[in-house]
Structure 1
Amino acid sequence: MSQMIDEPLERLRAAARRTRELALNRAGTGLGHQDAADAADDVGTIGTDDALGFDPFPLLEALHHNGVRVVVIGQVAGIMHGSTELTGDLDLLWDGAPAHAPALAAAFTSVNAQLIDEKGNPVPTRPDSFLRPKVQFTSPGASGDCCTPALPWGNLRVREFLDRAITAVDPGGLEVHYVSRKDLIQMRRAIGRPKDLRRADELDSFAPDRRG
């Protein structure tokens, strides 16, 4: 399903600006994306230092220019659907096909991203590193998780989420794919942390005819 409008991207740009402004006016926390699972289950990464300078667009543009189809999940997708909660991270889902890994690695390399494995150890930004079920990344603009359908998702058929993803296009031609609202709600409820359930309820409250 495709949307040839840029409202979701404008919402994301506005939210990223508010996040940067908010983070500038507070003291550092010493916490980053990798700490959020334990320390920010309720607040989210808006409460970590990853909110400082948060700008997902350099990486999203790099993915587009390198021709790799990656779907935005997590709260950035929520914002694109109209959520009012801010975030400091960018979570991504791709199909995990080895043939697509070189383009993915090229995109991350172009924004000076660094990768971290599931144990917190640095791994090189090369194609085979992305073939893991999940790899964490940090970059000057955004940090987050880059996942594949091989990651345990419970009973969710996440590969189908890739097929149902929505595409937002801005006037400059940037295309950003993001998970549908219904699929994002499923993801939220499956994870079940306080922030996920709260955000799922918010998304569920939207009018039935709202996009996604």
Structure 2
Amino acid sequence: MIDEPMERLREAARRTRELARSRAVTGQGHHDADNDVGTIGTDGALGFDPFPLLEALHRHGVRAVVIGQVAGIMHGSTELTGDLDLLWDGTPAHAPALAAALASVNAQLFDDAGNPVATHPDSLLRPKVEFTSPGAGGDCCTPALPWGGIRVEESLDRAVTAVDPGGLEVHYVSREDLIRMRRAIGRPKDLRRADELDSLAPHRRG
């Protein structure tokens, strides 16, 4: 049986593709997402499939942690998304493997101003780069990005790992850390999703 968080993510990605199948391309990307609706309302939902990149990260031995709504889905959130956000430690020695994984799925990188940058290890040392790939786009962040006073590097050590029968490992931020991230960012969708995650906590369900 597929690990339950993986099953949730596969089903959510399938539903996202189905929902967006009849949409026309609008030109709206990850950075155009509405603060309430999120990236499910952008072109990122068209053909959304995070698994090719997640598999590439695994193949290249990259310790990147899934954050954002993909992590939320893996924890049981019912809201769909059209992007895949990642957090890694920003260590220069780890950048070549991450660059190789991104290049293997034909990802393109962009700086904060939306300018293309090379899919090269040095580009990934910025606090954040945006990426697009045929299956999924999103933000690739390091702890150097301001997180509203949260020490997100600590969340890397507390990350949860899901494994499917084929051996694919996906590391994703813990529910508690994701709730803290959501509340620190504070957009309407973040606060709504933080409340949902809080309601899904074991002590609340019990």
User: Which deviations, in whole Å up to 9, do the C-alpha atoms of 1:136-186 show, x marking residues without a partner?
Assistant: 000000000000000011210100000000000000000000000000000
One-letter amino acid of the counterpart of residue 50, structure 1: G
Name structure 2 gaps, 5 residues minimum. none
- Segments of structure 1 that go 5 or more residues without pairing to the other structure are none
Q: CA RMSD in A?
A: 1.3
- Percent identity, aligned pairs only, is 84
Go from structure 1 to structure 2 and tell me whether the alpha carbon gap of 1:207 and 1:181 turns closer, same or farther (over 3 Å shift): closer
Alignment of 1:61-80 (within 5 A): 61-80=55-74
2:161 aligns to what SS in structure 1? Answer: strand
Correspondence for 1:19: 16
Give the whole-Å Cα distance in 2 for the aligned partners of 1:66 and 1:26.
34
CA distance in 2, matches of 1:97, 1:187: 21
**Distance apart, 1:207 and its partner CA:** 3.7
Indicate conservation of the 8 Å contact 2:39/2:83, yes or no.
Answer: yes
- TM-score (normalizing by structure 2): 0.96
Give the drift of 1:28. 3.0
Instruction: Please show how residues 94-109 of structure 1 align to structure 2 within 5 Å.
Output: 94-109=88-103
Corresponding residue for residue 197 of structure 2: 203
Tell me, in whole angstroms, the C-alpha distance in 2 between the residues paired with 1:209 and 1:174.
Answer: 30
Deviations 1:43-62 (A, max 9, x none): 00000011000000000000
Aligned pair partner of 1:43 in 37, 45, 68: 37
Structure 1 counterpart of 2:108, one-letter code? Q
- State how many pairs are aligned: 204
Work out whether 1:129 is the aligned partner of 2:123: yes
Residues 148 and 185 of structure 2 are in contact (CA less than 8 Å); yes or no, is this contact kept in structure 1? no
The 4+ residue runs of structure 1 with deviation greater than 3 A are none
Shifted more, 170-179 versus 18-27: the winner is: 18-27
Q: Measure the CA separation in 1 of the matches of 2:56 and 2:161.
A: 16
| Aligned-pair CA distance for 1:30 | 2.4
Moved more, 24-33 or 95-104: 24-33
Q: Distance in 2 between matches of 1:30 and 1:112?
A: 19
The two structures have a TM-score, normalised by structure 1, of 0.94
Q: Offset of 1:108 from its aligned partner?
A: 0.2
Are the equivalent residues in 1 in contact too, given 2:49–2:136 (CA < 8 A)?
yes
Match of 1:167 in 2: 161
